[in-house]
Structure 1
Amino acid sequence: MSLPITCLVIDDDEDDQEFFLLALRKMRSPLTCQFANDGQEALEKLKKDTNFSPNYIFLDLNMPGMSGKQCLTEIKKIAHLQHTPVFIYSTSSDSRDIAETRRLGADEFITKPTQVNLLTDQLSKLFMTY
């Protein structure tokens, strides 16, 4: 892996952002991570900067303003992101949320774990698969 992997995490909770970053740092791989605090901020960044094309997008469902489902729908409309995997990263484990986000184009659904090592393991598997 010569180029760093770039992740965009869209999550309004700063603690969850820090938790995600801790998990990435444990991976010992060339990774960079950018954050957006809500769906609108993420969409503005993704639409304005066509050179910014993250390798992976992690999207929380429950955010103020624009929901994760609405944001996912809009991300899927952006041409330069058509092949970018989008993973739902949420506290929800509701089967209806999982089914609906899959229907909307999410590649995977990750229920936020409570331990950094668990998230690190999940991320490692995702990066090897996608």
Structure 2
Amino acid sequence: MITSSLKPILVVEDSVEDFTALGRAFRKQALANPLLRCEDGDQALEYLQGYGKRAGWPLTLPAFVLLDLNLPGTDGRTVLGILKQDPQLQSIPVIIFSTSSNTRDIEECYRLGANSYLTKPIEYASLEEKARLLVNYWLGTSELPPLS
């Protein structure tokens, strides 16, 4: 079982249905890491910039962030740009997980510092496969920075 020291995985996703399906797909991979959800970009920034300062929030930064682009309030592009310019947060891997396969969105996200870009699949079996690949690569293969 892959744990990456049980650092949480932060999913920034406004759709309850998408988050529920993703959680199910991760559980199928025996992911032991806590799965956290922020419903919009503002909540994600508040959590990441203030981790450990609020009751009930983990004391550690996430192993990686799965970030939707089209969010209410502050959108995913803005969140990505802020994270990658913050010296305390810039080394957290940010994986864009969006329905958009627009080449301009993909190029802009990499320009802003995204570590990976995945298009959300329509079929659940494809979502399970992407969850398997995420867990195996980001928690099992990749050497992640030692964040507090």
TM over 0.5: yes
Contact 1:53 1:80 in 2 (8 A): no
- Please name the residue that 2:103 is paired with: 95
Task: Give the AA of the match of 1:34.
Answer: L
Residue 4 of structure 1 corresponds to 6
Runs (5+) with no aligned partner, structure 1: none
Which residue identity lines up with residue 62 of structure 1 in the other structure?
N
Deviates more, 1:45-54 or 1:102-111: 45-54
1:127, 1:80 → 2: CA distance?
24
2:50 aligned partner, one-letter code: K
1:40 paired residue number: 42
How many Å separate the matches in 1 of 2:60 and 2:88? Answer: 9
Q: C-alpha deviations, 1:34-56, integer Å up to 9, x for none?
A: 00010000110111115331001
Asked if the contact 2:40–2:71 (Cα under 8 Å) also holds between the matched residues in 1, the reply is yes
CA distance in 1, matches of 2:123, 2:6: 25
Equivalent residues of 1:22, 1:116 under 8 A apart:
no
- Which residue number corresponds to residue 81 of structure 1? 89
Q: SS of 1:81's equivalent?
A: coil
1:24 equivalent in structure 2: 26
The corresponding residue for 1:66 is 74
**2:23–2:35 CA contact under 8 A, matched in 1:** yes
Distance 1:72 1:7 in 2: 16
> For the aligned residues, what is the CA RMSD?
1.7
Q: Per-residue deviation at 1:59?
A: 0.6
Query: Unaligned 5+ residue runs, structure 2?
Result: 53-58, 139-148
- Classify the secondary structure of the residue corresponding to 1:12: coil
> Which of 111, 122, 129 is matched with 1:114 structurally?
122
Q: By percentage of residues, which structure has more strand?
A: 1
1:13 to 6, 12, 15: 15
Which consecutive aligned stretches of 4+ in structure 1 deviate over 6 angstroms post-superposition? none
When structure 1 is superposed on structure 2, of 109-118 and 8-17 the one drifting more is 109-118
